[in-house]
Amino acid sequence: RHLILVVFGLSGLIGLGLQRFNKPFSFLIALFISAEMILYARHFIVLKPIPETRHDAELITLLKQDKEPYRVLTNFGAWIPPRDSFDFDAGANYRVFNATGYDPSILRSYYEFIDIANGNAPGASILAHDVQVPYLNVFSPATDFLNIKYILVPRAYDPLAGASGQASSRFRLIREDVSRDYRLYENKNVKPRFYIENGSAAIEKYSPNEIVLTTDVPKDATMVSSEVFYPGWEGFVDGKKVDVIKTNNAFRALFVPAGRHTVTYRYSPRIFLVGGVVSLASLGIACYIFFRSMSSTQSNKNS
């Protein structure tokens, strides 16, 4: 981001200089400005290998081995060394779901859910964590609910090291890399992404804008999920639209009748339709004004 400021700022200043002064003097001004900006900006320009070359290929292969969708929890700060092995947003490249991330626009309801799961007031951690959700207390039941099967932690800040009692049977160390300074644990109590008490919910299709499941329940029930609730998500049971319910402060659920059914979640926000209509109307008006102006100009020439 600093490089963008330097490039555009430098270009604008050079352009102004070239317009106002003769060429030799303009060149000297441009040279002086460039030297000054590079001198002070050099601390913010650091050359590093692209992230993909730093990532741990064996770790990524392990995280991608599951057929069912599960999440990994990168439970550490942005400055911690394990980030080089699998950074917060690397999941988008490798199709690995992450329960956290590095983003200045965090979904508020999800952020508050993590705060509540940690025993804090909603939003209490915002001053300490403003570009990522707070570190999750991995012993919280929320870890199971959030479909977190893998937990990546730095060796020096490992809350699971030496865990006893139920925690020792709940989490299993499956990979440790001393040189990269991380440990990877498996959560053996992880819940599926979609689940129904005393029933089953099998994922048939999973894509960013549509999810199709087959449910089988002995009696009417609510299908709970760890998928976030957001305006624009619609629910269908056997093609019939049903209400999508907001549960646990941030997630979506829907009512499923007894028996075997096909359940579909589809993301189709109205704002896209409204935006499309407005864009087409604006294009039509612009074309009308343009052709009318051309017609008027031609009429004036003929006159």
Nearest to 146 by CA among 104, 108, 117, 183: 117
pLDDT at 186: 96
Other C-beta atoms closer than 10 Å to the C-beta of 175 total: 16
Establish if 295 belongs to a structural domain: no
Establish if 292 belongs to a structural domain: no
Establish if 296 belongs to a structural domain: no
And the tokens for 95? Answer: 């199709």
Angstrom distance (rounded) from CA 272 to CA 149: 34
> If pLDDT is split at 50, 70 and 90, which confidence band does 29 have?
confident
Residue 140 near residue 171, CB atoms below 8 Å: no
And the tokens for 34? Answer: 């460039």
And the tokens for 298? Answer: 């031609």
Angstrom distance (rounded) from CA 225 to CA 247: 9
The reply to whether 18 and 66 lie within a common domain is no
The reply to whether 177 and 241 lie within a common domain is no
pLDDT at 240: 96
Q: Kindly tell me if the per-residue pLDDT of 8 is higher than 90.
A: no
Nearest to 256 by CA among 235, 275, 279: 235
Q: Kindly tell me if the per-residue pLDDT of 30 is higher than 80.
A: no
pLDDT at 211: 97
Average pLDDT, the chain: 88
Nearest to 86 by CA among 160, 146, 151: 151
The reply to whether 40 and 59 lie within a common domain is no
- Greater model confidence, 26 or 131: 131
Q: Kindly tell me if the per-residue pLDDT of 152 is higher than 60.
A: yes
The reply to whether 214 and 236 lie within a common domain is yes
Domain count, the chain: 3
Strands, E assignment, 58-105? 71-74, 97-98
Establish if 131 belongs to a structural domain: yes
- Greater model confidence, 143 or 20: 143
And the tokens for 105? Answer: 């626009």
Nearest to 141 by CA among 240, 266, 226, 27: 226
Q: Kindly tell me if the per-residue pLDDT of 250 is higher than 70.
A: yes
End-to-end CA distance of the chain: 55
Residue 85 near residue 55, CB atoms below 8 Å: yes
pLDDT in tens, 44-75: 777 777 777 889 999 999 999 998 899 999 99
Q: Kindly tell me if the per-residue pLDDT of 205 is higher than 90.
A: yes
Dihedral (Cα; 272, 274, 279, 281), 10-degree rounding:
150
Establish if 128 belongs to a structural domain: yes
The reply to whether 170 and 218 lie within a common domain is no
- The length of the chain is 303
The domain containing residue 33 runs over which residues? 2-44
Establish if 218 belongs to a structural domain: yes
pLDDT at 202: 95
- Mean pLDDT of the region 108-112: 94
